[in-house]
Amino acid sequence: MRIKALLLILLSQLLLACESTQFRSFQQDQAVEPTSEGEQRLWLASEKFETALRRGEMIYTDPELDRYLQGILDRLFPEFKGVMRVHVHRAPVLNAFALANGSIYVNLGLIGTLENEAQLATVLAHEGIHFLQKHSAKQRAHVYNSNTLAIAVGMLGIPLAGNIIAANAISGYSQEHELEADTLGYQRLIRAGYARSESTRAFEALAREAKANEIKHPFFFASHPKLQTRIQNYQQLNAAHNAQSNGTVGPERYQQNIEPVREEVLQGKLQLGQYSAVIVNLEQDNAARLYPVYGGYYLGKALSLRNGPDDQARAITHLKATLKAFPNYSMPHRALGLIYLKQNNLVLAKSHLSQYLNRSPQADDRAFIELYLQQIEQQIEQQIEQRQPKE
């Protein structure tokens, strides 16, 4: 019985070696299509997965943004123009993933967190390599051959391809595959003329947010330990190549294309309760450039909602500073009014909430603010009555 089991394990390991070597990466002069039945299944599963994303309204549609992102991807992989397509995944969390059929998805949250084009190019180059090197197919073969899981999966009839797409493409591949994506992706950055010194900064920016986040996500680009590994890998690559050499950084072009998305990303993160993630992004030195006008308001709001020690006082400071810089901006008045209302500072609460409504008469939350103002009026009247001497 034991001998049979040993033979079975030996056979599975031999098969693993066979399967892993049969996947050759896509080459420039080759047709980009699945070359085995297993790959074909993965392509089909990827298409089904994309259909689900589309039907579920999880794809962010902005033709201008799509064109800009596609331009970066094509610059990195010019020989695969028309084969690799980039889409924006409507999710405020940090992530990007490549599917077996050549579709690359970048989360809105990741786009809104990065600082320049070279940083986004680093992520796209990394993901593009996962596709070209067929990492999902290799990983799939590996999982199929890791005996117990294959048996369990087979018995239960779980569609493994779907699992692999979800588990690996989104959460990350093996260390070996990730290292390969780092190394080959780095070469693509050099060839495309991007400033490679920005590669480490891209992952540092993501790691900063991932570390701060109250909610730990299983996604590859939201995992602080995995990002630390990326930083180390890219530091080594920078040391081996001349990282100081010039190249495109593209902060202005990136900001111009991404700016409309940044505020939406901040809103999305707040709607997901990622208060510390918003705070850490808005407290960095270059926040005023990345988040003009509205940055101070979202910082104040995030601090107020997080409600930690000193958060309310810090929120007031930032909101007042924003009002000083942009006196006609209504939102800081709203946030200040609500903080003062919580602190029972009725006079200041009334003043700021009234100014908010004066500046934004069509505000969506007008009914709430009017209700607060009524309650404030009643409380002020009660206080006056209590102070008057009784006859």
Partner 1 sequence: MRNQIIRPLFLLILPLLMLSGCVTTWTRVEQGQNQQLDTNRSFSVVIPTQWVRLTNTMNNISVTRDGTMLQWIEVKRRNKEKPFASLDKALPSQPLVTELAEYYLADTKKQAANIHIEQLDLQPVSIAEQTGFRMTLKLVNSRGLEVHMITYGVWVEGWFYQLSYQAPKLYYFERDLPAFEQIVGTFTLRP
Alpha carbons 344 and 326: distance in angstroms, whole number: 26
Look up residue 70 and give its two tokens: 């596609």
Q: Which two tokens stand for residue 313?
A: 């006082």
Task: Enter the DSSP assignment of 167.
Answer: I
Residues contacting 285, CB < 8 A, separation 6+: none
Residue span binding partner 1 (CB under 8 A) among the ranges 5-13, 137-145, 154-162, 367-375: 367-375
Q: Is 214 in the site for partner 1 (CB under 8 A)?
A: yes
Q: Which of 57, 285, 310, 385 binds partner 1 (CB under 8 A)?
A: 57
Other C-beta atoms lying within 10 Å of the C-beta of residue 356: 24
Which residue among 368, 377, 380, 383 contacts partner 1 (CB under 8 A)? 368
- Cα dist. 282→73, 300, 321 in Å? 28, 10, 14
103-107 β-sheet, strand order:
59-60, 85-89, 103-107, 96-98
Candidate list 305, 321, 346, 363; residue touching partner 1; CB under 8 A: 305
- Say whether residue 52 binds partner 1 (CB under 8 A): yes
Distance of closest approach, residue 54 Cβ to partner 1, in angstroms: 8
**Residue 372 sits in the site that holds partner 1 (CB under 8 A):** yes
Task: Specify whether the CB–CB gap between 217 and 94 falls below 8 A.
Answer: yes
- Shortest distance (Å) from residue 124 CB to partner 1: 23
Find out whether 200 and 235 touch, Cβ atoms under 8 Å: yes
Residue 310: Cβ within 10 Å count: 9
Footprint on residues 264-303 left by partner 1 (CB under 8 A): 270-273, 275
Q: Residue 58 interacts with partner 1 (CB under 8 A)?
A: yes
Residue 36 or 351: which CB sits closer to partner 1?
Answer: 351
Site for partner 1 in 94-123 (CB under 8 A): none
Token digits for 170? 């989104």
Phi, psi dihedral angles at 86 (to 5 degrees) = -110, 140
Q: Is the Cβ–Cβ distance between 300 and 323 less than 8 Å?
A: no
CB atoms within 10 A of CB 285: 6
Please state at what angle helix 366-387 crosses helix 331-342, rounded to 10 degrees: 40
Shortest distance, position 52 Cβ to partner 1, whole Å: 4
**Contact call for residue 90 and partner 1 (CB under 8 A):** yes
Q: Which stretch binds partner 1 (CB under 8 A): 31-39, 49-57, 67-75, 77-85?
A: 49-57
Nearer to partner 1, 114 or 222 (CB): 222
Contact 137, 19 (CB under 8 A): no
Which among 87-95, 115-123, 144-152, 253-261 is the span making contact with partner 1, rule CB under 8 A? 87-95
Shortest Å, Cβ 64 to partner 1: 22
User: Smallest distance from the beta carbon of 139 to partner 1, in angstroms?
Assistant: 21
Give the one residue of 259, 365, 377, 381 binding partner 1; rule: CB under 8 A: 365
CB closer to partner 1 out of 7 and 380 = 380
61 interacts with partner 1 by CB under 8 A: no
Helices (H), 59-174: 63-76, 108-113, 117-132, 135-145, 147-156, 160-164, 170-171
Binders of partner 1 among residues 306 to 325 (CB under 8 A) are 306-307
Contacts to partner 1 by CB under 8 A = 52-53, 55-58, 90-91, 93, 214-215, 270-273, 275, 305-307, 338, 341-342, 364-365, 367-368, 371-372
